[in-house]
Amino acid sequence: MTTIVGFDTETTGLDQPKGHRIIEVAMLHYDLATRKLIDKFVQRIDPERAIDPKAQEVHGISYKDLVGQPKWEDVAPAVSMRLDGSDIAVAHNVGFDMPFVGLELARVGLPVPKCETFCTMDNGRWSTFDGKSPKLMELCFALGVSYDPKLAHAAEYDVQVMIECLWRGLDRGFFTLPI
């Protein structure tokens, strides 16, 4: 069975060297052949630091929403195991999410799992009239996937609509996975 993990993170900001951390992770595993969901891991995380106001404006998560949530050290083994058990990791902007997760795993002494990656953003340039990297909303529009801006930037919701875009893109020949 070939498994893919659709994943997304929400963070305190964009700059890891300045101490920004992951505050939410969603990892939804699918059997590629049947496209059935086989595992779901969604977790908010206490970053033990303030959230950049610009980041909070995007995802709507405040620090008070994270009080009492586990720390990254507690969540990291589950994230590492799920990535390690996947054949392909799919994200909309994998170039941000995968390095962020990798550095956070390394920060707590865990190895960075090696798996193939696929980016619906980089591979979705065909969906915009000028070939720019599409926002997830633009990719959804191009593929006829319902998108609710009020739910956007919650990691689980973003993974769900991204995976629906992946299936439709594969069916229409717009995407080719690296396997």
Please write down the HEC assignment for all residues of the chain: CCEEEEEEEEECCCCHHHCCCEEEEEEEEEECCCCEEEEEEEEECECCCCCCHHHHHHHCCCHHHCCCCCEHHHHHHHHHHHHHCCCEEEECCHHHHHHHHHHHHHHCCCCCCCCEEEECCHHHHHHCCCCCCCCHHHHHHHHCCCCCCCCCCCHHHHHHHHHHHHHHHHHCCCCCCCC
Position 155 scores a pLDDT of 95
Q: What is the pLDDT of residue 15?
A: 84
d(CA 140, CA 138): 5
The parts of the chain modelled with pLDDT lower than 70 are none
pLDDT at 91: 98
Q: Using one digit for the tens of pLDDT, what is the confidence trace for 166-177?
A: 999 999 999 999
- Note every long-range contact of 141-147, with CB atoms under 8 Å and residues 24 or more positions apart, other chains counting: 143/168, 143/169, 143/172, 143/174, 144/168
Which fold is adopted by the domain 3-122? Nucleotidyltransferase; domain 5 (3.30.420)
Residue pair 35/44 in contact by the 8 Å Cβ criterion: no
Whole-number Å distance between alpha carbons of 54 and 135: 17
> Half-sphere exposure of 100 toward its Cβ, with a 13 Å CA cutoff?
25
Residue extents of the structural domains in the chain = 3-122
- What pLDDT does 162 receive? 98
- pLDDT of 18 reads 84
Q: How far apart (Å, rounded) are the C-alpha atoms in residues 49 and 6? A: 27
Distance CA 96, CA 158 (A): 15
Instruction: Say if residues 21 and 12 touch (Cβ distance below 8 Å).
Output: yes
